[in-house]
Amino acid sequence: MVRKGGGDLGGRRSTIRDVAARAGVSASTVSRVLGGVYPVSTRTRARVQRAVRELDYVADAHAKAVAGAGTPALALVLDDITGPSFAHMARGVEREAARLGHLCLVCSTDGDTGHELGFIEMMRAQRAAAVILVGGAVDSPEYRRRMARVADSLASAGSRLVLCGRPPLAPGTPVTVIEYDNENGAFALCAHVLAQGHRRVLFLGGSPENTAAQGRERGYLAAHRARGIEPDPALRLSGDFTRDSGHRLLRRALDQGLAFTAVMAATDMVAAGALTALHEAGLSVPGDVSLAGYDDIPFARDLHPPLTTVHVPYEQLGRLAVRTSLGRTPDAPDEHLLLGTHVVIRDSVAPPAGAPL
Amino acid sequence: MVRKGGGDLGGRRSTIRDVAARAGVSASTVSRVLGGVYPVSTRTRARVQRAVRELDYVADAHAKAVAGAGTPALALVLDDITGPSFAHMARGVEREAARLGHLCLVCSTDGDTGHELGFIEMMRAQRAAAVILVGGAVDSPEYRRRMARVADSLASAGSRLVLCGRPPLAPGTPVTVIEYDNENGAFALCAHVLAQGHRRVLFLGGSPENTAAQGRERGYLAAHRARGIEPDPALRLSGDFTRDSGHRLLRRALDQGLAFTAVMAATDMVAAGALTALHEAGLSVPGDVSLAGYDDIPFARDLHPPLTTVHVPYEQLGRLAVRTSLGRTPDAPDEHLLLGTHVVIRDSVAPPAGAPL
DNA sequence: TTGAAAGCGTTACCAA
DNA sequence: TTGGTAACGCTTTCAA
C-alpha cells in the first residue's frame, strides 16, 4: 500500500537523520533548528524546515526523554473520572498542565489500593514530573507508611507526590498536600441547618473509613455540639459517595420509621439520590424535610428544589496541584495547603414544619 | 540531604547497569529476568530480583520505547472532561486501556481546533498506539481534509485515528469511526413526544455546526414529517450543550411568548437547565409542559420529574474505541461502527393539558 | 555556522 | 545460561 504525502519510508517513522539527509545537513543541525535557540544560518534553517514539512516529521518524544530533553508528563490518579467533583479536578489539572506544556496521564483505580500502587510504579517508570493522587483515602498507619515510601521513591526519581484531598503524611516527607476543608464546610452547613430549627438531622455519609467522609461527619457532629445538642447516633448512616447510595440509604431510613426533619448528605450525588427517594415517598422538600448536599456540582442548581450545599473549588484545586508540584525540587520539604469552602444557600433547607419563626 | 532506602545514587535514578553491578551480572541478564520469559538460572534470578528490590528499580519506559519494546500509550482527545457523557466515554477508554496494559494520555481542547491539531501532533511524537477523538465536530470539507491528513500521518507513524461520535471520512482513509445513532435516537424520542399529542415541540439544540446537534435535530424533524407535521422553524433554537444554555434559551422562549407544550433538549444537561427555568416560571412538568433530554446521564433520574431521555452507551463506546483500534494494522481500511440507542421513558413527558386521551 | 561522536537506558542479536 | 555489542532516535559537547 502506498502512503500519500512525501514522507514515505516504507512504513517507518521518519527520523532526524532522514530529515538531515533530505536537507543535506547533519542530524545535529536539524536538532538545532528544531530546538530553536541555536545559531543556524537562514539558508540552512529554511532547507531543514522544508524537509521537516515534506517528511511530516515530528521528533520522537521518547528518544528526547532518554536524551535528557523533553518535558515530562504529569500523572493524575483518581478513583473514577465519572464523579463530577473528580472530573472538575481533572479539568483543572489538565488545563494547567497544558498551559505549562505538559501532557497528562490519567489512571482510574476504582478504589483499589493495589491498582493505585501499580499505577504509581508505572508513573515512576514514565519519569512523570509529578504524581497527583486525588480523593479521600483510608487513613491508617499502613496508609502513611505506604505513601511515605511512595513519596520517597518518587522523589529519588526526580518526581513529586501530590496528595489532593487526602490526609497529610509525617512532617519531612517529600510530599505536597492540598486539602479543602471538609470539616469546617460541613460545620458551617450543618450550623445553617440547625439554625433553621432542625434538631434531628439525618447524616448520609460515605465509607466510614474515608477521610473525606470522616471530615464531613466531624463537622456535622461539631455543629451539633456547638449548639449543645448531642446528635442521635442512629441518625448517622454510612454508604458511599454515589447517587444510588443516597437513594438506598434514605429509603431504608424511611422504611425503618426513623424520625428526622432534615437530611445532610455527604455529597451532592448522595443528595440527589436521597431527593428522589424523598419524592418517591411523597415527601416535599423543604416542606416536609430539608436537604443539604456537599460539593456544589453544577447540577445542584437544577435539582428541585435547588440544593443548598457547600462549594468546593475543585478546578482550582487541580490547577494548584500542578502549579505547586512543578518547578519545585523533588525533595523539597513537605508543603501543606488548605483551601477554604463556603456554603451556598439555595432552596432546599427551610425551617421544619411547625417550627417557631 | 540523605535519601532513605538502599537505592541512593546521589539523586540519580538507578539504571539497569546499577542493578547488574549490584547483582554481579550483566545488564543483559537483568533485562532477561525482568522480561520474564527467558531462561535464567534460579540463583541468578534471585540475586537480580533482590538487587532490583534493594535499589527500588523500575525500568525506564522511554528507554524501553526507544529500544522498540514497551507498550505504547493511548491518547484521548476531548472537548471537556467535565461533560458527563464525555466522562463516561473517558472511563470506558481508560478502563479498557488499563485492562490491556496501556496507559492513557488525555487532552482537553475546549473546542479549539488548533489545540486539537497540536495535541494530535504531540500524540504522534509520543508514538501513541491510537488517538481517539471524541465528540461532535463541525463537518466541512476543511474538516474532512484535515482529518484525512491526520489519519494518514498517524497511520504512517504506526498509529491509528479513531473518531468517536464524529462524521466519517472518505472511504479508504485509515480511520476507525464509531458513531452512535443521533438521528434515530432523536427520531424515536420525538415520535414518543408527538404520540402523546404534542404538536408544538420546542427544540433546544446545540451549535448548528455540530454534527451531534445536527443529527438530533434531523431526528426531531423527521419524526414530525413522519406524522405529516411541518414543524414551526421558530421552535428550533440553538445554543450549546451546557446547562446554562438550556436555562437561557428556555427563559428567552418564555419571555418572547413562544407557544409550545413540550420541550426536547439536545442534551440532558440542556434539559436540566431548561427544567429549572420552567420551574422558575412556575410551570409544572409534565403538567404544563413536557420535557425530554438526550444522553441518559445518571443524574437524569434525579431530576424532578425524572427525565425521559435517550440512552447512549457511552462507556461501551469508549471500550469499543480502544478494542477496535488496538490490534489492527495501522493502515487497515476504514471501519465504521454504528451503535444503537434506545429511549428510556420516565415521567417528564405526558399528554398536553386538555389533550384527548 | 556546522559536523562527528559520545551518551542517554533499554533490548536483542550473536557468541561463548 | 550468560555476556558483549549494536541499535533505537535524539541531544550535546567538542572540534573544526
Q: What is the pLDDT of residue A10?
A: 54
State yes or no: pLDDT of B8 exceeds 60: no
Amino acid letter, residue A211:
T
Residue A136 pLDDT: 81
Q: How far is the CA of A32 from the C1' of D5 (A)?
A: 30
Virtual CA dihedral for A289, A293, A297, A299, nearest 10 degrees?
A: -10
Contact B66 A61 (CB under 8 A): no
B108·A125 Cβ contact <8 A: no
Chain B residues within an 8 Å CB radius of A80:
91
Note the pLDDT tens digit of each residue in B42-71. 999 999 999 999 999 999 999 999 999 999
**Angle between helix B16-23 and B27-35 (nearest 10):** 100
- Domain A74-180+314-340 architecture: 3-Layer(aba) Sandwich (3.40)
User: Where do the domains of chain A lie?
Assistant: 8-66, 74-180+314-340, 182-312
pLDDT at B37: 81
Q: Residue for cell digits 539504571? A: B15
Which residue, counting CA atoms, is nearest to the C1' of nucleotide C9? Answer: B63
| Whether residue B3 has pLDDT greater than 50 | no
SS3 A45: helix
Q: Outline where chain A has alpha helix (H).
A: 16-23, 27-35, 42-55, 61-66, 84-99, 113-125, 141-156, 182-195, 211-226, 243-255, 268-280, 314-325
Cβ–Cβ pairs < 8 A, chains A and B: 177
- For residues A65 and B78, is the Cβ–Cβ distance under 8 A? no
Q: In terms of CA atoms, which chain A residue is nearest residue B84?
A: A82
The reported pLDDT for the residue numbered A281 is: 97
Residue B188 contacts A, CB cutoff 8 Å = no
Tens of pLDDT, residue by residue over A10-66, are 568 899 999 999 999 999 999 999 997 888 889 999 999 999 999 999 999 999 999
CA distance A121 to chain B (A): 7
Q: Say whether domain B182-312 belongs to CATH 3.40.50.620.
A: no
Question: Using 50, 70 and 90 to split pLDDT, how confident is the model at B202?
Answer: very high
Q: Which of B100, B116, B299 to mutate to test the interface with A (most CBs of A within 10 A)?
A: B299
pLDDT-derived band at B331, boundaries 50, 70, 90: low
Pairing state of beta strands B342-344 and B309-311?
Answer: antiparallel
Model confidence at B80: pLDDT above 90: yes
Residue the block writes with cell 518518587:
A154
Q: What is the pLDDT of residue B52?
A: 97
Q: Output helix, strand, coil percentages for chain A, rounded to the nearest 5.
A: 45, 15, 40
B100: contact with A, CB 8 A cutoff: no
pLDDT at residue B176 greater than cutoff 60? yes
> How many CA atoms does the CB half-sphere of B274 hold within 13 Å?
36
Distance CA A245, CA A272 (A): 10
Nucleotide nearest to A16 (CA to C1'): D9
Q: What's residue B111's pLDDT?
A: 87
Confidence at residue B10, expressed as pLDDT on a 0 to 100 scale: 55
Q: Quick check: helix, strand or coil at residue B106? A: strand
- What is the pLDDT confidence band of residue B355, given thresholds at 50, 70 and 90? low
Whether any strand D atom is under 7 angstroms from the Cβ of A66: the reply reads: yes
pLDDT of the residue at A137: 87
pLDDT (tens digit, 9 = 90+) per residue, B258-296?
999 999 999 999 999 999 999 999 999 999 999 999 999
Extract the residue ranges of chain A whose pLDDT is less than 70: 1-11, 329-331, 355-357
**Under CATH, what is the fold of the domain A8-66?**
434 Repressor (Amino-terminal Domain) (1.10.260)
Q: Which residue has the higher pLDDT, B136 or A130?
A: A130
Flag whether residue A111 sits within 8 Å of chain B, measured between CB atoms: no
Q: C3 C1' – A26 CA distance, angstroms?
A: 6
Identical fold for domains A8-66 and A182-312, yes or no, is no
Tell me the pLDDT of chain B averaged across its residues: 93
A39 CB contacts (<8 Å, ≥6 apart)? Answer: none
| DSSP 8-state secondary structure symbol assigned to residue A352 | P
Q: Are B93 and B322 in contact (CB under 8 A)?
A: yes
Higher pLDDT, A290 or B41: A290
Spatial contact of B204 and B258, defined as CB atoms under 8 Å apart? no
Q: What is the per-residue pLDDT across A208-227, written as a single tens digit (0 to 9) for each?
A: 999 999 999 999 999 999 99
The answer to whether B14 and B56 have CB atoms below 8 angstroms apart is yes
CA torsion sign for B88, B177, A73, A322 is negative
Least confident range of A115-119, A177-181, B94-98, B330-334: B330-334
In Å, how far from its chain's centre is CA B294?
15
CA distance B131 to chain A (A): 14
